[in-house]
Chains A and B, each alone.
Chain A
Amino acid sequence: MFTPAAKATAEKLGLTLGHPNLEEFAATLEELARANPNIIAVTSDSRGSGKLGPFGKALPKQLVEVGIAEQNLVGVTAGLAACGKKPFGVSPACFLTARSLEQIKNDVCYSDVPAVLAGISAGVSYGALGSTHHSLHDIATLRAIHNISIVVPADNFETHEAVRAAARAEHPVYLRFGKAPMYTLHKPDARFEIGKAITLREGTDAALIATGETVVHCLLAAAQLAERGIQCRVISMHTVKPLDVDAVLRAGRECRAVITAEEHSVHGGLGEACAAALLRAGVHVPFRIAGIPDEDTVTGAQADIFRHYGLSMEGLTATVTAALSRIGPI
């Protein structure tokens, strides 16, 4: 996932490599479920992919397996939620949010049951498996559906907090996880709240607003740029919906350029959400969206795909440099 240069930069920043957010999700869910028997994991032959094997062994009565049947998974999850349970429907994001989209829209969101849907191995986590297994649409589609929060944690801390917050939520929540080990980006005293962005680094030359597994690459790019005297603000926009519009507008008003980054199609995701927020408020600022373009997506490891589309430290550094060079010298 990280080039030697990126690892060296992370080391300079004092970042420590944690485990995959997916593993943090599973561990947190088990911890919560041990204390609350109403927490139920619903899987579609996905307990292995979801790292829920230990959960199933420890709490067999709190795991519902429906087999390879994602539509049924979401319907069952909704039914459990309607009868007092706190279910987490867990399935690869590519299937969960495409094959079962109507169940998400109607059974969960429209019926307004307190269900949590966890899209695992999201984005291009399954990069080498081809577009059937990529989820580059899920943020866009769910943004257009009323009554669901979309949370894409960047590191183990955000994952832990997001799972806990989702377990408390009274309305539907979509959690999106990748499976690469993640650097821990936050200080121990960091605070997490759904809908509130976290600023990881201050700066006013450019703002990097990112979500999920691209956040770390933005932080690394900011460190690279700082060595050249360019100070970037880095914002972890872990909640894409509801968007922290204030954080976006502050970035647009206080920084000379805004660059968004996401492991998602450039259509309908975080970037376009930020662009719309800026335009609606009349904030005009040089703006770039780093994401997956509307094309036959290149395949390979997640790291290969990130490099290919400029979502790596090196690519994001170049994007910021290019955006600022069009404005003129600092």
Chain B
Amino acid sequence: MTDQELQRKSIELRKTLLRVIFNAGAGHTGGGLSCLDILNVLYNRVLRVSPETFNDPHRDRYVQSKGHSVEALYVVLADRGFFPSSQLDTLCHYRSPFVGHPTRKIPGIEMNTGALGHGLSICVGMALAARMDAAPYRVFTLLGDGELAEGSNWEAAMAAAHYRLDNLIALIDHNTLQITGPTREVCCNEPLDEKWRAFGWTVRTVNGHDFAQLTTALQTPPEPGKPTCVIANTVKGKGVSFMEGVAKWHHGVPNKAELDQALAELDAALSVASVS
């Protein structure tokens, strides 16, 4: 899939994400939009996993530690054919398996997540299992930058470096905003790159909305014996002018007028992407 095709797909997926959240009346809009390009690249270029191979013990593993952005994962998995897109209409409905955080009840999802600071430890265990079995699979996780305030992440980061887990890749959705406001103001955790390097990781910093940069960062072989951290600089609410960089859209749900405006903006972007 070309960069342009990925770009068009991301716009379509953003439209679906907004419709799904609007229908549910709940969701994490801002973070979903910020990490959507990352997930698009992962599932359409990088991860060796598909609906047909999801039970293969050698499939690549992806654990979404920032579980609240599950709507973005749902729309990407549906697009990849893990389940029919129509099922997304049940998001957050009574007894629907499509709840507001990832669960293994949904085809394509590896672990139940949602409480922050859990995914990286799980992935350390998965990467160790791959090492023990001399298996070829890689393990990926997506963390929020605000999530990094959870101390358990750093326990896991130390262990990953200690065990030289070069089959482990942690992506940071570095959108710089959390529910209360800018992460720098809530409880500053910058500079992220220096912290991860100090913990023994290879760090690659990219534009998290640039498909070529993301692809290069994720497909470049790891430094032998070192886990890889990809800091993806992103924009919370990416793709919708009035949501971009606004903390209230962390879990803000658009009303009908806002949805229509957002979809119109995305349609316009799609037109540009189609002719460029």
A residues adjacent to B (C-beta < 8 A):
37, 40, 61, 64, 66-67, 69, 71-72, 74-85, 87, 102-103, 106-107, 110-112
Contacts and interface: CB of A to CB of B under 8 A. Distances in A.
A103 B114 CA distance: 11
27 contacts: A37-B132, A66-B155, A69-B159, A71-B121, A71-B151, A71-B152, A72-B124, A75-B120, A75-B124, A75-B125, A75-B152, A76-B121, A76-B122, A76-B156, A79-B121, A79-B123, A80-B126, A80-B128, A81-B125, A82-B122, A83-B129, A85-B129, A102-B118, A103-B118, A106-B114, A107-B111, A107-B121
A67 B117 CA distance: 18
Contact of B130 (A37, A40, A83, A111): A83
A153 B126 CA distance: 30
A118 to B, nearest CB: 16
B155 A79 contact: no
A66 B152 CA distance: 12
A102 B117 CA distance: 10
A83 B159 contact: no
A251 B152 CA distance: 45
Given A72-B121, A72-B152, A76-B124, 5 more contacts: A69-B152, A69-B155, A75-B122, A79-B123, A102-B115
Nearest to B156: A72
B113 interface: yes
Given A61-B132, A71-B121, A83-B130, A78 B155 contact: no
Nearest to B163: A64
A330 to B, nearest CB: 54
A81 B126 CA distance: 8
Contact of A79 (B115, B122, B162): B122
A79 B129 contact: yes
- Most chain B Cβ neighbours within 10 Å, of A75, A80, A84, A107: A75
B48 to A, nearest CB: 15
Contact of B118 (A40, A66, A77, A107): A107
Contacts of B133: 83-84
Nearest to A106: B115
Given A79-B125, A79-B128, A80-B126, A111 B152 contact: no
Contacts of A83: 57, 61, 125-126, 129-130, 133
A78 B125 contact: yes
Which 8 residue pairs are nearest across A and B when measured between Cβ atoms?
A: A79-B125, A75-B121, A83-B129, A72-B155, A69-B155, A76-B125, A79-B122, A71-B152
B78 interface: no
A67 B159 contact: yes
B112 interface: yes
